[in-house]
Structure 1
């Protein structure tokens, strides 16, 4: 009996292999994540290096090398991650406005994200706003393009919020991240945090952006006048299953 293993690709991987998804026809119904990567490397030896530093995702969760994955799972291979108006709205839009973790192709307003964490029990709130800068290490950027594995990105953002709540009891977090083209000086990410006291708020805000860069599957492509590069996919080692130090 044969099993069809379908593996989604993103960012630099999708570009290098010129496909959004790979399919392997194998006799095995299950194997470890490490074995799956080795099978992919055997099928695509010219890309073995990038495959080796990528991570398998199983049903929107990172799978360590020893984890068992199955052909029936939703599988993806992830390269290292990068790092309002006053109008009447329909019910769907209103629900999204209250959702603390969002991936969107629309412009982000920092005030909207902050509103989600303001609480009468909290005396401190912080908003981190990430924007597109023009110059990086002497290289002039024309624009950025972001790509996300959206359901997993939202799930891992929610994980960050849960971790913050455990480390700093009572703290609240909301994150909105752009996808698609983000021009110079435009907002790519907004992280809002509130807490009873300012010390916890500062610490939780720093934790949120560092953790986002570590585990959330969102990739950044820098576009220059004379070329482009996916930021993140060439880096390593990378292990999103390891927590940040206390």
Structure 2
């Protein structure tokens, strides 16, 4: 008896295949993430190049090569990309917290609204990183950007960034809102708001947050030019979202 697997696709992968999901059949109900990718590359040899550099996500988390995945799991293939112990929150409280601090939206972003989430009396420093659509890059004119995300996993990964900041710079608060859909020239695509007791950690945490977002969060942008378009991912070299961010790469 064969087993049916469904793997969702995003951004350039979806465009390359011309579908939003791949349906394959195997004899196995369980296999490693590496074996599943190898099966896909064997089934679609013409797309093996992009499949080989994509990451498998299982139930909204990155799956390591030796991780066991099941045909009943929620699977997605992601191309390169953007005091005391409290009581454990309920699922509804966790969802509410994620929606408040880490958001994806098709509406225009107001910087002040995101920044207001992290301003608290005990913090003496706050700032907002605001990413906007740039018109010219290396002599090429961008008409607009189009953003797409694996939404439930993107929110989960943004929260992980906030957790990492709190561990590296204790007391730091973080809120992130990212646009989806069409973002025109000079419009805001992302706001990362940071607050901290002192300004030095506020600066450092803000830089870390935007680089980490570009490295690990499954958000992709499609650059639309006057004469073509291209999907862009994290653009930080070989893509491994599970690799700790050791230093800050230079931007061009």
| Counterpart in the other structure of 2:228 | 227
1:29 aligns with 2:29: yes
d(CA) in 2 for partners of 1:233, 1:196: 30
| Counterpart in the other structure of 2:89 | none
Please give the residue correspondences for 1:177-188 in structure 2 after superposition, counting only pairs within 5 Å: 177-188=178-189
| Counterpart in the other structure of 2:87 | none
d(CA) in 1 for partners of 2:99, 2:44: 44
| Counterpart in the other structure of 2:139 | 138
Please give the residue correspondences for 1:80-229 in structure 2 after superposition, counting only pairs within 5 Å: 80-82=80-82, 99-229=100-230
Task: Check conservation: 2:161, 2:212, Cα contact below 8 A.
Answer: yes
For structure 2, the 5+ residue unaligned runs are 83-95, 248-252
1:75 aligns with 2:62: no
Structure 1 residue 233: deviation in Å?
A: 8.1
| Counterpart in the other structure of 1:6 | 6
d(CA) in 2 for partners of 1:217, 1:12: 12
User: Which secondary structure state, in structure 1, belongs to the residue aligned with residue 211 of structure 2?
Assistant: helix
RMSD across aligned positions (CA): 1.7
TM-score (norm. length: structure 2): 0.90
Structure 1 residue 242: deviation in Å?
A: 1.1
Structure 1 residue 2: deviation in Å?
A: 1.9
1:108-158 deviation line (CA, Å, top 9, x unaligned): 000000000001010000100000010011110000000011000000000
d(CA) in 1 for partners of 2:164, 2:234: 26
Structure 1 residue 235: deviation in Å?
A: 7.9
Change (3 A) 1:159 1:96: closer
1:142-181 deviation line (CA, Å, top 9, x unaligned): 0000001100000000000011011111000000000000
For structure 1, the 5+ residue unaligned runs are 83-94
Task: Check conservation: 1:50, 1:234, Cα contact below 8 A.
Answer: no
Structure 1 residue 237: deviation in Å?
A: 2.0
**Number of matched residues?**
234
